[in-house]
């Protein structure tokens, strides 16, 4: 979204320069870091609205950077990685990344995903004002979720999945259904498991409401 700040964390200068050019053409403000240490410095100083984070970095790797950021911030993170193994993708998602792009990638694809993740983070796509399911309350206007009176610290992707489950509470949703409405080309249903696992850890006392339905997907128990 024009005017918002993007932090590119990428040690390959050519790739970083191309991404910066495309993002600036879309109206974004851009900061760049070439290693994990500098990334954390710029994250604290620039307060970006989204981070494009390479997995393999000098000084501090991308997983460690994401873990450090997620300890105190829910800023959207898109992982950039040359690794194609499923475990590597799930590792990034497991530490709180909202999406990933595998190299080589099209800069236009990255820009499209940036727009999509920012739209989700701002809560522009909403189908109802609130859902109340047991002790869980999902406020779509405030883009916030609560277990009892405690506000949950969840990522935009986790919030979207929780809202989808709450909208059809008591019904088992297939993994593919939890991907519906995405506009960023992300369609790997296997990564839903990683997001749900991470979400369940964040639900606290309400974690038992999120049930796995073998052979189907997931259900939010009423």
182-205 pLDDT tens trace: 434 445 667 788 889 999 999 999
Assign 181 a pLDDT band (cuts: 50, 70, 90).
Answer: very low
Dist. CA 11–CA 91, nearest whole Å: 20
Residues with Cβ within 8 Å of 65's Cβ and at least 6 positions away in sequence, in order, are: 9, 36, 39, 40, 53, 57
CA distance 140 to 184: 21
Higher pLDDT, 46 or 94: 46
Cα-Cα-Cα-Cα torsion 220, 172, 116, 72, nearest 10 degrees, comes to 30
What is the per-residue pLDDT for 123? 58
Query: 207 or 178: whose pLDDT is higher?
Result: 207
Paired strand residues for 99: 78
**How does residue 83 score in pLDDT terms, banded at 50, 70 and 90?**
low
pLDDT of residue 134: 85
Q: Which residue segments constitute the domains of the chain, with CATH numbers given?
A: 5-122 (3.40.50.2300), 130-220 (1.10.10.10)
Average the pLDDT over 167-195 and give the result: 72
Alpha-carbon dihedral sign for residues 15, 20, 23, 28: positive
Per-residue pLDDT, averaged over 139-152, amounts to 86
Across residues 90-105, what is the average pLDDT?
77
- The pTM of the full predicted model, rounded to 2 decimals, is 0.58
The pLDDT value recorded for residue 82 is: 74
Give the mean model confidence (pLDDT) for residues 129-142: 83
Rounded Cα distance between 188 and 192, Å, is 8
């Amino acid at each position: 979204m024009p005017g918002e700040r993007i932090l590119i964390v990428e040690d390959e200068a050519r790739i970083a320069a191309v991404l910066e050019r495309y993002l600036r053409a879309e109206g974004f403000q851009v900061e760049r870091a070439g290693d994990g240490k500098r990334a954390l410095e710029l994250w604290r100083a620039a307060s970006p609205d989204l981070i494009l984070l390479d997995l393999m970095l000098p000084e501090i790797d991308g997983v460690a950077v994401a873990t450090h950021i997620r300890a105190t911030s829910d800023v959207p993170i898109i992982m950039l990685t040359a690794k194609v193994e499923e475990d590597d993708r799930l590792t990034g998602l497991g530490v709180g990344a909202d999406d990933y792009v595998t190299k080589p990638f099209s800069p236009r694809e990255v820009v499209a995903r940036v727009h999509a993740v920012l739209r989700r983070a701002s809560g522009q796509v909403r189908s109802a004002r609130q859902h109340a399911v047991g002790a869980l309350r999902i406020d779509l206007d405030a883009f916030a979720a609560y277990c009892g009176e405690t506000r949950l610290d969840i990522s935009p992707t986790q919030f979207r999945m929780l809202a989808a489950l709450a909208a059809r509470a008591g019904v088992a949703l297939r993994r593919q259904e939890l991907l519906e409405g995405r506009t960023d080309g992300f369609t790997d249903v296997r990564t839903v498991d990683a997001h749900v696992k991470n979400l369940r850890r964040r639900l606290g006392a309400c974690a038992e409401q999120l049930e796995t339905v073998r052979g189907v997907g997931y259900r939010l128990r009423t």
